[in-house]
Amino acid sequence: MNKNTFTLIDNRDQTEYEYPILGASRGPQAVDMSKFYQESGLFSYDPGFTSTANCSSEITFINGEKGELRYRGHPIEELATKHNYLDVCYLLLHNKLPSKEEKVAFDLELRHRAFLPEGLRNLYDSFPDNAHPMSILSAATTALSTFYYEHLSLETQEDYYVMAHRIIAKIPTIAAFAYRKSIGASYIYPDIDKSFTENFLYMLRAYPGGKLKLTPNGHQEIKDIEIKALDTIFTLHADHEQNASTTVVRSVGSTGAHPYVAISSGISALWGRAHGGANESVIEQLRLIGSVENVEKYIAKAKDPNDPFRLMGFGHRVYKNFDPRAKILKQMQVELSKELNLDSELMQIAQKIESIALSDEYFIERKLYPNIDFYSGVILTSLKIPREMFTPIFVIGRTVGWITQWIESKQNPKAKIVRPRQLYTGE
């Protein structure tokens, strides 16, 4: 018997089916089931793809049991402490960290590409006041494909990079404009003298004309610690292998759609509160809980099988011990609390939830730990970023991951259209 195969026996008639086991450089190997239906006439049934690898990938590795996350082989802890977000973008896209010269050139290119086609502004005008920035972000990203239609057919590696750098550079501007629209304020254009992350905060906060004023309580100044915190959040969100939104990006990409339309679909998928929308829900929930005294009552609701209430920011499909990104952000929260006035009431409620949940049998048994969203919500609140911008910030960080995954799928000559089957139970 070939040791590198996997045998399935159909107990109805003892037919044996043998499938190759595919090697992995880290983590679980996979059984190549691609011929299963053709040979057996059966489908494999795996709702939510909990046991199914939809592709092979060289980009990001997660070990959920060990709480390990690596981009292109580099541990997230190293990237979050020794590098910045643009280094991480370069690493994901180019499969190597940039040299000094490459770093400067990449930074300048992104600054230069951060501006939006003027025609796109008209689209913003057509949205109602108070439109959620995520809706605008998704629509504007789709609309961007009309200005860069040529990216539908990419030929050289350089073509791919231009397309990718363009969307990474423009997404923060698209997001900042969406926010300005949602509060009825005039748009602030990017400032080429500012770095990627500082520029985003600037576009959110500046007054018309571009001045950042210092208010009596100091809110409008951009502090180094704020840039560092946001840059770390971008880094921690940059990629996360085949999560729901990335799977959507790959699926839409597999049909031959425009890359920016695929990214826009990823934005829509991310919005849900079971995915990227959780960071907004965490803060909503902390506000709903309202005071430390109410925490126990809400923990009981979360544990009640007859109550749909869930603790937002807890649990993860893959991380079953801890979320390494959450660990880094917890440390960042400590740093920030020394330098900024964190909302003490929210912090206390969050800390009480964390301490109860980490020692409660219900959460321990189900391996439910605080995830990245639990801490990012509190950190973004301390940066005075409005709640509706939390998920757009996730989008800014994740765009590089989506586009890198899209490129990998496009450059795989064996890639197929994503087309699962079903177990039909109807009439």
Give me the 373-392 binding string for ligand ACO, x by CB under 6 A, dash otherwise.
x-------------------
Catalytic residue status for 373: yes
Distances (CA, A) of 133 to 35, 176, 179, 268: 44, 9, 6, 12
Report if residue 212 touches ligand ACO, rule: CB under 6 A.
no
Nearest approach in angstroms of CB 303 to ligand ACO is 7
Token couple for 237: 């969100």
Nearest approach in angstroms of CB 234 to ligand ACO is 14
At 22, is the secondary structure helix, strand, or coil?
strand
Catalytic residue status for 83: no
329 in Cβ contact with 371 (< 8 Å) = no
Which residues lie below 8 Å from residue 150, measured CB to CB, with a gap of 6+?
none
176 in Cβ contact with 188 (< 8 Å) = yes
- CB closer to ligand ACO out of 171 and 203: 171
Which residues lie below 8 Å from residue 16, measured CB to CB, with a gap of 6+?
7, 8, 9, 10
- Please provide the DSSP assignment of 69-84 as one string: EEETTEEHHHHHHHS-
Instruction: Tell me how crowded residue 233 is: count the other CB atoms within 10 A of its CB.
Output: 29
Out of 106, 177, 196, 314, which residue is the one contacting ligand ACO (CB under 6 A)?
314
DSSP H helices, 46-132, are: 76-82, 85-94, 100-113, 120-125
- CB closer to ligand ACO out of 197 and 281: 281
Which residues lie below 8 Å from residue 324, measured CB to CB, with a gap of 6+?
67, 68, 69, 76, 77
Segment interacting with ligand ACO, rule: CB under 6 A, options 28-36, 71-79, 100-108, 370-378: 370-378
| First vs last C-alpha separation in the chain | 43
Count of residues engaged in binding ligand ACO, rule: CB under 6 A? 18
Out of 82, 213, 366, 416, which residue is the one contacting ligand ACO (CB under 6 A)?
366
Out of 94, 132, 194, 317, which residue is the one contacting ligand ACO (CB under 6 A)?
317
Q: Which residue is nearest to ligand ACO (CB)?
A: 315
Out of 94, 113, 132, 310, which residue is the one contacting ligand ACO (CB under 6 A)?
310
Degrees, nearest 5: CA angle 17-20-24: 145
- CB closer to ligand ACO out of 372 and 385: 372
Report if residue 312 touches ligand ACO, rule: CB under 6 A.
yes
- CB closer to ligand ACO out of 92 and 110: 92
- CB closer to ligand ACO out of 18 and 296: 296
395 in Cβ contact with 137 (< 8 Å) = yes
Give me the 265-294 binding string for ligand ACO, x by CB under 6 A, dash otherwise.
---------xxx-x----------------
Dist CA 138 CA 357 (whole Å) = 35
Segment interacting with ligand ACO, rule: CB under 6 A, options 70-78, 104-112, 218-226, 315-323: 315-323
In total, the chain counts a number of residues equal to 427
Report if residue 369 touches ligand ACO, rule: CB under 6 A.
no
Closest by alpha carbon to 270, among 134, 92, 133, 93? 134
Out of 254, 265, 371, 381, which residue is the one contacting ligand ACO (CB under 6 A)?
371
Segment interacting with ligand ACO, rule: CB under 6 A, options 118-126, 189-197, 306-314, 345-353: 306-314
Out of 165, 170, 258, 316, which residue is the one contacting ligand ACO (CB under 6 A)?
316
Q: Which residues bind ligand ACO (CB under 6 A)?
A: 274-276, 278, 302, 310-317, 366, 368, 371-373
Positions annotated as catalytic residues are 316, 373
